Chains A and B, each alone.
Chain A
């Protein structure tokens, strides 16, 4: 994707001066970033550097101490519970552990967000949407299975299908290839790229996996000491002489 085109697009998420501490541990310290329409933005950082906290602040699961998070120009930190629910229809979240409900079948897992966010549909229509989401990830045959019967890669695809079922405009991925073998990781990365092209979604992706980063990234933000230390394309950052950036690419 042409970088000039990305910078001219409207921001869908604007984060300004974000701060979050847990006790004496300051995780985010004046973090600023924009996510532009239709781009895949990778957030790169060491374990425990606050990447997951960042996207949980965006979706409203964690309340930041200071700063502003705007999604489609609406301030998330001031939202009531009902407003957050409305916002979450537009923003999907893929959890690192997939977070599929063990006690439910795949069909019930996918129906759950549909029935919760949108109650007006007939049963046939709900089934159609579930099948469409499963077809998108190539797992329509698993509809009546339980999550425990699936492999790690299949569970990740189902979790992605559940994220996609509400057709969100923005997707937040928390380490989508963590714990997967390189081949399955590459399949998931390509699937994320397909999703971006098919639905024109904008995504923030937390990842350590440089092969995934190389496939899906339009821009990369490096998170060090709670701040956005550097931002640029894969090639720009790879050529950097800064040792703190280089360590991610070596």
Chain B
């Protein structure tokens, strides 16, 4: 029983690797579907925009409020903007944005492609002279890879606004002073790793959603399963990527 589960796990890994390999073969090979890519960029960016902004604002506010008592106890409350901003930009906002996108975009892609698969729309596309892999998969993956870093930058900005409100609950701090304190500690080396890892988050979320949706079986039941497993697996992979990114950044800082 256990060996069968392990065999099926290895089979899934093999298929996913072949799927990723096919993506890299198709992405650089013409014909390019620019119109569909722009559509997908709009849908993917637009779909998560409000949620990312709202979550960013709340997270910025909450982290600042929660950190204040501890920092006050050590007499370091003047460091609050810089400490909070570094933790928001380096870790919290990219991961929260990726988790939101895994729920929103990953499940959406899995369910959409899954229902297209079971209703033969993907076959119909192929019969209509379209490479469905290029039209459906490549465009969605590239659009998510491009949009997620933009959502992270937007999320960072809104979270810092939230942090500003959080700081002003306890004391009056001007926007200028807050910005000075934030950018005194927040460096290029904090921002870049978070942007770079968000490209990988975007790739993982979209390729898993596409893989699960494109390989849906067993009718409508399979569509639900594809959407669900897309979210669960992509959230898990986001944390794995985050762990690897933290290790790499740490090694680079030592060097």
Interface window among B113-121, B147-155, B162-170, B208-216: B113-121
Residues of B within 8 A of A (CB): 115-116, 119-121, 123-131
Separation of A81 and B125 alpha carbons in the complex (Å): 13
Residue of A nearest to B122 (CB): A99
Does A113 count as interface, using CB distance less than 8 angstroms? yes
Contact B127 A59, beta carbon cutoff 8 Å = yes
Contact B123 A101, beta carbon cutoff 8 Å = no
Task: Write out the residue numbers on chain A whose beta carbons fall within 8 Å of the beta carbon of B121.
Answer: 99-102
Rounded to whole Å, the gap between the CB of B35 and the closest CB of chain A is 10
Residue of A nearest to B39 (CB): A103
Contact B129 A61, beta carbon cutoff 8 Å = no
Does A248 count as interface, using CB distance less than 8 angstroms? no
Given A113-B128, A113-B129: A97 and B115 interface contact (C-beta under 8 Å): no
Contact B120 A88, beta carbon cutoff 8 Å = no
Contact A99 B119, beta carbon cutoff 8 Å = yes
CB within 8 Å of B: which A14-33 residues: none
Rounded to whole Å, the gap between the CB of B15 and the closest CB of chain A is 16
Interface residues on A, range: 20 to 34
Does A93 count as interface, using CB distance less than 8 angstroms? yes
Our pick among A96, A112, A116, A117 for the contact of B120 (Cβ within 8 Å) is A96
Contact B129 A97, beta carbon cutoff 8 Å = no
What 7 additional pairs, Cβ within 8 angstroms, besides A99-B123, A113-B127, A117-B128? A81-B131, A95-B120, A99-B121, A102-B119, A113-B128, A113-B129, A116-B130
Task: Write out the residue numbers on chain B whose beta carbons fall within 8 Å of the beta carbon of A85.
Answer: 129
Task: Write out the residue numbers on chain A whose beta carbons fall within 8 Å of the beta carbon of B127.
Answer: 59, 61, 88, 93, 113
Does A89 count as interface, using CB distance less than 8 angstroms? yes
Interface SS of chain B: helix
Rounded to whole Å, the gap between the CB of B235 and the closest CB of chain A is 26
In the complex, per-residue mask of A51-71: 1 if CB is within 8 Å of any chain B CB, else 0: 000001001010000000000
Rounded to whole Å, the gap between the CB of B137 and the closest CB of chain A is 16
Separation of A157 and B71 alpha carbons in the complex (Å): 70
Separation of A112 and B125 alpha carbons in the complex (Å): 9
Task: Write out the residue numbers on chain B whose beta carbons fall within 8 Å of the beta carbon of A113.
Answer: 127-129
Separation of A110 and B127 alpha carbons in the complex (Å): 13
CB within 8 Å of B: which A88-125 residues: 88-89, 93, 95-102, 112-113, 116-117
Given A99-B119, A99-B120: A89 and B126 interface contact (C-beta under 8 Å): no
Contact A89 B119, beta carbon cutoff 8 Å = no
20 cross-chain CB contacts under 8 A? A61-B123, A61-B127, A81-B131, A88-B128, A88-B129, A93-B127, A95-B123, A97-B119, A97-B120, A99-B119, A99-B123, A100-B121, A100-B124, A101-B121, A101-B124, A102-B116, A102-B119, A102-B121, A116-B128, A116-B130
Separation of A59 and B129 alpha carbons in the complex (Å): 12
Task: Write out the residue numbers on chain B whose beta carbons fall within 8 Å of the beta carbon of A116.
Answer: 128-130
Rounded to whole Å, the gap between the CB of A38 and the closest CB of chain B is 22
Rounded to whole Å, the gap between the CB of A176 and the closest CB of chain B is 14
Task: Write out the residue numbers on chain B whose beta carbons fall within 8 Å of the beta carbon of A61.
Answer: 123, 126-127
Our pick among A56, A81, A96, A112 for the contact of B128 (Cβ within 8 Å) is A112
Task: Write out the residue numbers on chain B whose beta carbons fall within 8 Å of the beta carbon of A56.
Answer: 123
Residue of B nearest to A61 (CB): B123
Residue of B nearest to A96 (CB): B120
Rounded to whole Å, the gap between the CB of B190 and the closest CB of chain A is 40
Residue of A nearest to B130 (CB): A116
Separation of A56 and B122 alpha carbons in the complex (Å): 13
Rounded to whole Å, the gap between the CB of B146 and the closest CB of chain A is 21
Separation of A85 and B134 alpha carbons in the complex (Å): 15
Residue of A nearest to B115 (CB): A102
Separation of A93 and B130 alpha carbons in the complex (Å): 14
Rounded to whole Å, the gap between the CB of A162 and the closest CB of chain B is 8
Contact A99 B129, beta carbon cutoff 8 Å = no
Rounded to whole Å, the gap between the CB of B199 and the closest CB of chain A is 27
Contact B130 A99, beta carbon cutoff 8 Å = no
Separation of A56 and B119 alpha carbons in the complex (Å): 15
Separation of A88 and B123 alpha carbons in the complex (Å): 12
* Most chain A CB inside 10 Å of its own CB: which residue of B120, B123, B127, B130: B127
Separation of A61 and B126 alpha carbons in the complex (Å): 8
Task: Write out the residue numbers on chain A whose beta carbons fall within 8 Å of the beta carbon of B125.
Answer: 101, 112
* Most chain B CB inside 10 Å of its own CB: which residue of A96, A99, A101: A99
Separation of A112 and B116 alpha carbons in the complex (Å): 15
The 6 closest A-B pairs by CB, nearest first: A99-B124, A113-B128, A116-B129, A99-B120, A117-B129, A95-B120
Task: Write out the residue numbers on chain B whose beta carbons fall within 8 Å of the beta carbon of A98.
Answer: 119
CB within 8 Å of B: which A182-220 residues: none
In the complex, per-residue mask of A156-195: 1 if CB is within 8 Å of any chain B CB, else 0: 0000000000000000000000000000000000000000
